Amino acid sequence: MKAGMVVAFICAGLTAGLGMAFGQSDKPIKIGVLIDASSFSADLGGVGSVKAAQMAVEDQGGRAAGRPVQILSADMQAKPDIATSIARKWFETEGVDAIADLPTSSTTLAVQAIAREKKKILLIAGATTTELTGSQCSPYSVQWADDTNALAVGAPKTLAAAGFKTWFFVAADFAFGTAMSKSAQAVVQANGGKVLGEIRHPTDTADMSSYLLAAQNSHAQIIGLANVGTDLIASIKQAAEFGLAAGGQKLLGFMTFVTDVHALGLEESQGLYVTTSFYWDANEKTRAFAKRFFALHGKMPTKEQAHVYLAIRHYLNAVDAVGSADSDTVIAKMKTTPTDEFGVPGSIRQDGRVLYDLEVYQVKTPADSKYAWDYYKPYQKITAAEAFKPMDEKACAFLAGK
């Protein structure tokens, strides 16, 4: 998919009236799905996020507030300049009401500045930085993605309490990796652990050998992988080749997706610790959603794709409830309406942070896996109160009245 290329889908369930010219009441509500379809995180959201968005609109009946709903999509290639160009065009000339997905922190922060200026809603399902609800917050953004604080707190605290006291971090040298590693190290130290070292690598690094050898030579009990997508897969694959697990070291993937484990296979990823808010096999509702998604996409949904679906459903329910797509009215309704994480209740704070429980899982051995995509076993639940930073009204300008 080329940068800026827009693929429009008018979802099923629309009435026969679509055959006539649109009156004002039939002006479409437009949702842009801004994805990475060609870079390191393409498998985590990508075209699967567009399909999840279509599912959300179809499940809404194709309409909200009596108007048809239209999905647009574009590939921003994980580049802020491309992302902002697409977002500005969508808002200024395409009449887009909200943008969903937004997979990387740097691109999302850039787009959020434009959305704040244009008073447009962002439904953030991928970007993890806490700055989105902190110093760079927007009254029009809602962050569904597990943020860096939630991912950094849960597993290190749980594993430190289980007796894993020495840690080494391999981090991608960009905003996510830096923030994740810093936050996790603070949690390890606060819980009696010791950080033996950290090493950073550029994104899209195929050869992780020097970084993993440094981790192996540290003899740390836990190797924390603060990277994502193809970088994470390369790290886990090469860690297995170098025998880190065979030597007694455990891996923790802070930003691991079920598709990563699928790409690696259980032989190489077994024993890996994973923190996530969504796993396709968690309950009957997640399984029902996953079965439908799999029929469309050929893979089980990632948490990013699931959050695209949940965010758009919540947004459209708010549009229906207030009878309008006006951003101020809709966002106010969204923040006062409980969320539904496939049967598990959650909420949205005034700073836009969605609150829900997370779970630490451990990847199963091949012998323990009983059917296709049966990869995770529960290890420890993390409550929303433990996972997410308290709201900081002084840091967030619109809450502070600045």
Q: What are the domain boundaries of the chain? A: 9-146+283-355, 149-276+358-387
Q: Locate the DSSP E strands across 28-126.
A: 29-35, 63-64, 67-75, 98-101, 121-124
pTM: 0.91
Pick from 234, 306, 297: which is nearest to 276 by CA? 306
Q: What mean pLDDT is predicted for residues 371-392?
A: 95
pLDDT tens column, 310-359: 999 999 999 999 999 999 999 999 999 999 999 999 999 999 999 999 99
Q: Locate the DSSP E strands across 140-270.
A: 141-143, 166-172, 194-201, 222-226, 250-253
Superfamily of domain 149-276+358-387: Response regulator (3.40.50.2300)
Pairing of strands 141-143, 354-355: unpaired
Q: Locate the DSSP E strands across 203-307.
A: 222-226, 250-253, 273-276
Superfamily of domain 9-146+283-355: Response regulator (3.40.50.2300)
Q: Answer yes or no: same fold for 9-146+283-355 and 149-276+358-387.
A: yes
Work out whether the CA dihedral 42, 302, 127, 227 comes out positive or negative: negative
CA–CA gap between residue 136 and residue 320 (Å, rounded): 29
Q: Collapsing DSSP states into helix, strand and coil, what is residue 342?
A: coil
pLDDT tens column, 104-139: 889 999 999 999 999 999 999 999 999 999 999 999
pLDDT tens column, 53-68: 999 999 999 999 999 9
Under the banding of pLDDT at 50, 70 and 90, the label for residue 17 is very low
Instruction: Report whether 36 contacts 77 (CB < 8 A).
Output: yes
